[in-house]
Amino acid sequence: AGRGRNRERWSYDLFISFRGADVRNGFVSHLYESLVRAGIYTFKDDQELERGEYISAELLKAIENSRILLVVLSKNYASSPWCLD
């Protein structure tokens, strides 16, 4: 019963934050598939933002409506002002 009530408050159980190219097609893809198979409703942004682009309203909404934020640290993530902001 508690899980249904949480579903009404949150759109996603988990939001995965990562910096594109260095982990998108490897670690994050495998992690995402495993989470989904386990029944964890997960948001993974498949659109890579270019330097200077603004975060979309859709992406902001997904972040705000996720119960948990998981940051996947990588060399590119740590050097991205956008990710660290």
Residues 61-81 have pLDDT tens digits of: 889 999 999 988 887 777 776
Number of domains within the chain: 1
Question: Which pLDDT band, with edges at 50, 70 and 90, does 6 fall under?
Answer: low
CATH code, 23: 3.40.50.10140
Residues 26-42 as b or e (16 or more Cβ within 10 Å = b) = eebeebbeebeeeeeeb
pLDDT digits (tens, 9 = 90+) for 16-47: 988 776 687 788 889 999 999 999 999 988 76
The model's pLDDT over 39-65, given as tens digits with 9 standing for 90+, comes to 999 998 876 555 556 677 888 888 999
- Residue 12 CA to residue 8 CA, distance in Å, equals 10
φ and ψ at 76, to 5 degrees? -70, -35
Predicted model pTM: 0.74
Residue of 67, 82, 79, 54 whose CA lies nearest to 16:
67
pLDDT for residue 16 = 92
Which pLDDT does position 82 carry in this prediction? 66
